[in-house]
């Protein structure tokens, strides 16, 4: 495998940008990319997982198996439908934003809930207290 210098990488990127600036080429490239993604969904998923979280698709699947295919928090399967594929999306990778370490896989509801409270344990505790105090409603 040939290792490219920074100058060579820049030249290739510039050339590709120039080719894709032609509408006909951009359209062909977009179609080829779409076909590739459809034919190789695991490859794309593996690259995304590796780049964002430092894990492979194989490691993701191992975590999924240890969690019995359900969310690490609520113990329920994912229900959110992906807008593009119209299929249930995979569980989200939950990670510590300070260390980058993967903690587990969460459903969309649990993942966004943790994000909305900024992973604040005190806030989560207050929410639990609130629910316990107001169990029956007003």
pLDDT reported for residue 34: 86
At residue 97, the pLDDT reads 86
- Single pTM value for the model: 0.74
Alpha helices in 67-120 (DSSP H): 108-116
pLDDT of residue 69: 98
- Residue 70: what pLDDT? 98
Identify the segments of the chain with pLDDT beneath 70. 1-2
For the domain made up of 68-133, give the CATH fold. Answer: 3.40.1800
DSSP state of 102: E
Q: What is the pLDDT of residue 92?
A: 97
Residue 2, pLDDT score: 67
Q: Give the pLDDT score at 59.
A: 98
The residue whose two tokens read 């034919």 is 39
Count of beta carbons in the 10 Å neighbourhood of residue 60 = 19
């Amino acid at each position: 495998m040939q290792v490219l210098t920074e100058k060579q990488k820049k030249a290739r990127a510039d050339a590709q940008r120039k080719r894709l600036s032609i509408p006909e080429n951009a359209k062909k490239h977009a179609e080829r990319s779409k076909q590739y993604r459809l034919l190789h969904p695991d490859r794309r998923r593996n690259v995304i997982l590796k780049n964002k979280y430092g894990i492979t698709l194989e490691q993701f699947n191992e975590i999924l198996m240890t969690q019995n295919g359900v969310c690490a928090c609520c113990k329920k399967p994912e229900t959110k439908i992906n807008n593009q594929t119209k299929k249930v999306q995979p569980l989200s990778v939950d990670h510590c934003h300070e260390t980058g370490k993967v903690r587990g896989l969460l459903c969309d509801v649990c993942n966004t809930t943790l994000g909305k409270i900024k992973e604040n344990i005190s806030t989560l505790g207050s929410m639990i207290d609130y629910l316990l105090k107001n169990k029956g409603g007003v």
